[in-house]
Structure 1
């Protein structure tokens, strides 16, 4: 099943183009229901947790978490997405270059503990912002090019602090009927990517087929939420 999408490639420019054309059906104007229902598991009683958002777009989840007293660091290629995030949430921000990443910028909220890096995700590393206590991956692993998944997983693992709780959202459907994105990521692959160094728990599995996905030609779509935590040494 994985072979059908193995060679599918979305260039960074295509993602930027989607933002410029406002072709962003993946953006949700509300906090993701599976994040809301899993948040206690992610926090595990902790306060002031540092969250990482890979490919963050303008997710309203970031302000929701910051309003609770957590801090948020996101990475996003689209400058427009980042600017819209601050404008739509009525947050003032500053912009500054990132010395260690050529041509990258970081946008920092003045009111909330939110820093969004405008750069290629693979240019980011723990040397820039350290490691994180939580990661919310709502549309990142399912959006990257399938051939880059091992590179992606090693980056994410390198960003996980020892107490990190990584919430990963994936989709199951028949990839012969739809080329993606979002791409098909079977549970077996989640285990092959993260299972050597992490424990993986399937928290939720929900039917997420809507008329939109039927329009893609799909007859079923399952959304899975995994909680991934570093194995204790």
Structure 2
């Protein structure tokens, strides 16, 4: 991995107050049902816009992974540039809203390796969104990726599951991949999360030498 970029404003020495905070998959599904999705960015992420050329680094036909994708408009950006997009999202409603909002036709089929899971594919074939838990996804053998865009994913993972999440992300990467990670730094005593608080040390602990 060439780099991991982090959006950190300042760091606080300790975030132990957050370590036992847990949201269930049902909690996240309920957010979509109740339209409590303030994490969604209608115009896309400005940080990605700013660094898009560096992130892509002139690559053509890249495979780009979106963990906890929701209905991120950036998925359409990459598809329109000729790249192949794969995402995972627990909310079927969120996935359907993506295709509706982007006026894209799609098909759906079961994922045989994961009971109850589905994959939604654009008619063009370059967007595939899996409806399942991120922790079940490796069983679907989705292949390896050249790029990972992680905004709102790692910061939404329960602290007790963050190392397992990081291990899965790194297991999905090809040689020479780029992982663009956007996290938050704030006073964790003022907000229990998610989004959860991260320091540079936290990132290094999760991703090791690849975080430099």
SS at match of 2:70: coil
Q: Deviations 1:149-181 (Å, cap 9, x if unpaired)? A: 110110001011112100001000000011111
Between the two proteins, the alignment pairs up a number of residues equal to 199
**Structure 1 unaligned runs (5+)?**
201-233
Match of 2:197 among 184, 188, 192: 184
Q: In structure 2, what is the Cα distance between the partners aligned to 1:37 and 1:128?
A: 32
Q: In structure 2, what is the Cα distance between the partners aligned to 1:112 and 1:127?
A: 17
The answer as to 2:30 corresponding to 1:17 is yes
Match of 1:68 among 81, 103, 122: 81
Structure richer in strand, relative to its length: 1
The answer as to 2:129 corresponding to 1:116 is yes
Which residue of structure 1 lines up, in the alignment, with residue 8 of structure 2? none
C-alpha contact (below 8 Å) 1:53/1:75 kept by paired residues: yes
The answer as to 2:106 corresponding to 1:89 is no
TM-score computed with the length of structure 1 as normaliser: 0.83
Match of 2:145 among 132, 136, 140: 132
TM-aligned CA deviation for residue 111 of structure 1: 2.6
The alignment's C-alpha RMSD in Å is 1.1
**Structure 2 unaligned runs (5+)?**
1-13
Q: In structure 2, what is the Cα distance between the partners aligned to 1:127 and 1:91?
A: 24
Match of 1:36 among 49, 63, 69: 49
Match of 2:116 among 96, 99, 103: 103
Between the two structures, name the one with larger relative contact order (CA 8 Å, sep ≥ 6).
Answer: 2
Runs of 4+ in 1 over 2 A off after TM superposition: none
TM-aligned CA deviation for residue 137 of structure 1: 0.3
Q: Deviations 1:81-119 (Å, cap 9, x if unpaired)? A: 000000010000000001111110000000351000000
Q: Deviations 1:94-149 (Å, cap 9, x if unpaired)? A: 00001111110000000351000000000011762111000000000000101111
